[in-house]
A and B are shown apart, each in its own frame.
Chain A
Amino acid sequence: MVLRNAVVVGGNRTPFTKAGGRFAAASAQDLLTSALDGLVARFGLAGQQMGQVTAGAVLKHTRDFNLTREAVLGSALSPHTPATDVAMACGTGMEAIATIANKIRLGQIDNGIAGGADSASDAPIVVSEALRRAMLTASRAKSVLDRVKAFASLVPADLIPVPPTVNEARTGLSMGESQAITTRKWGITREAQDEMALASHRNLAKAWDAGFFDDLVTGYLGVTRDTVLRADTTADKLAALKPVFGRGDDATMTAGNSTALSDGAALVLMAEEEWAKEHGWPTLARIVDTQLGAADYVTGAEDLLLAPTRAIPVLLERNGLTLDDFDFLEIHEAFASTALATIKALEQGGVGVVDPSKLNVNGSSLAAGHPFAATGARIVASLAKMLAAKGPGSRGLVSICTAGGQGVTAILEGI
């Protein structure tokens, strides 16, 4: 069977905002619909039937069981466009892209849209476990008295809504606390983390000023630029921040070198290469290959957020490439120390050395923000544009860590 090529045609995202900010009243579905409508407008797709739209969100309400389909129905696309949801924590967007790319390569569809949305502002708030059980018992009760009895055991604290957490189910540690262990274990310094954060802000600000995002972002609710971005931040300002994760004097992770909880949505338009050319669509970059990895973090043997270091060697070997063969390296900055530990682990594991001049050259999550499921499409759309500008044969590597000790990686090639 001859595989076809899946290419990135373009992308669109909302600006990313800090949770509780200008998108506070928007749901993940609102954000996804907005990103979709912007993409539809950019490529003149109103009323058209696409092969498939696949996206997802990490923070999902029960009403979001059909998130992507609902976004399609709320968009200007033809209602005959099928849609599916995927879920892989922060890897959701990238895994959605892999799904669509694979279907295109297999010939099941000629084009598709993939990405994700998240609203940390609109995270689901649930009732306590005790209240939930009482409500279930009450619903089964046959008499009023039994119904009242069902609630008798509750104490006032059980009535308080439970806000969402991003704690790992198996370790009970928050993402930040888990990463603090990794940071210490790999000896990532405060200075290195702040330096990476500063570069992220400077690179992203420069890209915005140069108009790089003119055809990658569409404003939403009056917001026209990423609001996490601090174009005027300095090394001194970052150095003055107090650590928020880790304990003791050697705690190094601050709000400045960790990603902010954020709201936003991002999507990528993809098509089969020949089909795209026949239809006169831009062909920016091929999705060459993708690879997942998973780490044994529960036992403490491995790190929660370094699973990409298991995926990357597999991906490189399968494609006969080394890190030196890439023009751009996009390593998601969940925390500055995650990206730095990933680079260190790749080096120590003999996979290769990351050239800092190729790393996140137009900024990454520290400056842009990280609406979990939106990050994959943000990275892939930007990278594809960079590769197209770099020229045919240029290569980019994507690495995204996720909750649950997993990672998703991909190779893109400029056309």
Chain B
Amino acid sequence: MTGTSFLETLYNTRPGRAVARRAGLADPPKLRRGRTEPTGHTALATLPGGGVGAETLSLLGIAPSTALVDVPEHRTKDERGRDVPPAYSTRPGALVVDATGVREIGQLELLRQVLRPAMRGLERSGRIIILATDASAVDGLEAKAVAQGIDGINRTIGKELRGGSTSNLLFLTEGATAGDLSSSVSFLLEGRSAFVDGQAWRIAPRKDGDEGTTGADRGAPFAGRIVVVTGAARGIGAAIARTFARDGATVVAVDVPAAGENLSAVANELGGSALQLDITADDAGARIARHVASIHGGDTKIWAIVHNAGITRDKMLANLDEKLWGSVLEVNLAAEIRIDAVLLDRDLPGGLADCARIVGIASTSGVAGNKGQTNYAASKAGVMGLVWAMAEELADRPITANAVAPGFIETDMTAAIPFVSREIFRRTNSLQQGGQPVDVAETIVHLCDPASGGVNGQVIRVCGQNLVGA
């Protein structure tokens, strides 16, 4: 951690904040977090041909209200005689737009009609969730173009919403049902998705043999399941471990031997176990399996592995030697591939279970590139490529592989960025603030949820809809 600069100290005083506000740097909205549902009602707009949205909310035990529709006859006049859209009598906490039946350009107007009353009508940390059919599951040029058009709407309203509200889009591929969708809708409605904004990902039918059900215990879905988290001694890794433990998992916390002191504190706090291991060791995968089988019981298998361990060795490419280059790719990408290959052996005691979850950590640097981070961007974009390829390779096994791509997250690492740059990075997203480690953790835990078998081969950005690479 670097020391606090004079400017930063001044900025954080009361007069300093007042000046900053005048200059347009408003205090960012406080986000609703954790397993908390919206306070207000959930409005549902079922556009023609839809229906899966209503079914999904029913599975989640939510009785929706009917969304208001902005058509001329519903408008009223304000005191200056201007048309105003219909207004909700009580602010909804969320609006679910079921656009799964929308195929024509003209039908996009229906989205406008239901979105307009919500744009300034949602409560703070409100949610807009759009459901659409994936381009791969519709016929015709227009329908495919329309599918992508809906994402344009999603990304834009993410930027226009205020007060910590977010908009996200779920694309259903061929055959996806409410049961495949419910876990993601629950995640988006709850505070768990606080820093996920303007994103779109695909929901596919859960694979044969996927043991997850829609009725998974929403309090402790991981009870009796082993989750391995690498890089768990501190920062985002420790937050991931804590969030899994909150939801009932037995956590195997892995980190380098030199981090053992923090690592054992995390493991003991969570009632899990600690494994001191350099993940780049040739036998790292075997040692993880041996630890799981010998500490947590011979028949125990791993439910999920989260490849969180990562390093940065930033230098402009003009100054980058083979050592700094290699170490980053080795830790952030190569180790992960080797470990998965070992753990995917069906006969390995302490390996991955038949039905399992794999999560890697990408980065907005991998999505968009970042000055001084060629090595890091290569490794993180590589993680994205890896989970796409794994999802294909594991098509016939009920194992999902996904990644999250964090944006600016408040950690020791980002605290070391000079103040002015840091304040710029942290504010250049739709939520105008940095994310917390727990935001990344919540998304990872969601991807590993027994009920999230429908999410496979996806990269979800946890970036507050960062302008970079959006």
Chain A interface (Cβ within 8 Å of chain B)? Answer: 34, 37-38, 40-44, 46-47, 76, 211, 213-215, 217-222, 224, 279-282
Contact = CB atoms under 8 A, between A and B. Distances in A.
Nearest to A48: B271
Interface string B256-299: 01111101110111111111111001000000000001111110
Contact of A282 (B264, B276, B294): B294
25 contacts: A38-B274, A41-B263, A42-B274, A42-B275, A42-B276, A42-B295, A43-B273, A44-B267, A44-B271, A46-B267, A76-B269, A211-B281, A214-B276, A214-B277, A214-B278, A215-B276, A217-B257, A218-B261, A219-B258, A224-B257, A224-B261, A279-B297, A280-B295, A280-B298, A281-B294
B268 A40 contact: yes
Nearest to B259: A219
A38 B264 contact: yes
B268 A37 contact: yes
Contacts of A214: 257, 276-278
A214 B256 CA distance: 9
Given A42-B273, A42-B274, A282-B294, A217 B260 contact: yes
Contacts of B298: 280
A46 B272 CA distance: 7
A218 B276 contact: yes
A405 to B, nearest CB: 38
**Chain A binding surface, main DSSP class:** loop
A362 to B, nearest CB: 16
Nearest to B297: A280
Nearest to A224: B258
Given A280-B294, A280-B297, A41 B257 contact: no
A101 to B, nearest CB: 21
Contacts of B276: 42, 214-215, 218
Contacts of B263: 41, 218
A211 B278 contact: yes
Given A44-B267, A214-B277, A280-B297, A224 B272 contact: no
Contact of A46 (B268, B275, B293, B294): B268
Point out which of A34, A47, A76 has the most chain B C-beta atoms below 10 A from its C-beta.
Answer: A76
Given A34-B261, A217-B260, 7 more contacts: A37-B265, A42-B295, A46-B270, A214-B276, A219-B260, A224-B257, A224-B260
User: Which of the listed residues B261, B271, B277, B296 has the most CB atoms from chain A within 10 Å of its own CB?
Assistant: B261
A280 to B, nearest CB: 4
Nearest to B293: A280
Contact of B260 (A38, A40, A47): A38
Contacts of B275: 42
B350 to A, nearest CB: 10
Contact of B267 (A41, A224, A281): A41
Question: A-B pairs with the 9 shortest C-beta distances?
Answer: A44-B273, A41-B264, A76-B268, A41-B274, A41-B267, A218-B260, A224-B258, A219-B261, A280-B297
Contact of B271 (A47, A211, A219, A220): A47
A38 B257 CA distance: 11
Interface residues of B, number: 30
B415 to A, nearest CB: 19
B343 to A, nearest CB: 18
A71 to B, nearest CB: 14
Given A38-B260, A38-B264, A215-B276, A46 B296 contact: no
Nearest to B274: A41
A44 B272 contact: yes
Nearest to B263: A41
Contacts of A224: 257-258, 260-261
Contacts of B294: 280-282
Given A37-B268, A47-B271, A213 B257 contact: yes
A41 B266 CA distance: 8
Contacts of A222: 261
A280 B349 CA distance: 11
A38 B264 CA distance: 6
A42 B290 CA distance: 13
A274 B351 CA distance: 24
Interface in B362-412: none
A149 B56 CA distance: 90
Contacts of A281: 294-295
Given A215-B276, A218-B260, A43 B295 contact: yes
Contacts of A218: 260-261, 263-264, 274, 276
Contact of A211 (B253, B257, B259, B300): B257
A71 B259 CA distance: 22
Contacts of A40: 264, 268
Contacts of B297: 279-280
Nearest to B349: A280
Contacts of B265: 37, 41
A38 B294 CA distance: 17
A40 B261 CA distance: 12
Interface string B336-364: 00000000000000000000000000000
B169 to A, nearest CB: 41
A267 B261 CA distance: 16
Contacts of B250: 44
A369 B12 CA distance: 49
B277 to A, nearest CB: 7
Contacts of A220: 261
Interface in B122-142: none
Nearest to B253: A41
Contacts of A46: 267-272
A37 B257 contact: no
A46 B263 CA distance: 13
A42 B296 contact: no
Nearest to B267: A41
Contacts of B267: 41, 44, 46
Contacts of A279: 297
B254 to A, nearest CB: 11
A43 B253 CA distance: 11
A44 B257 contact: no
A213 B257 CA distance: 9
Contacts of B253: 41
A280 B269 CA distance: 23
Nearest to A43: B295
Contacts of B281: 211
A273 to B, nearest CB: 14
A73 B350 CA distance: 32
B467 to A, nearest CB: 39
B231 to A, nearest CB: 16
A171 to B, nearest CB: 41
Contacts of A44: 250, 267, 271-273, 295-296
A47 B296 CA distance: 15
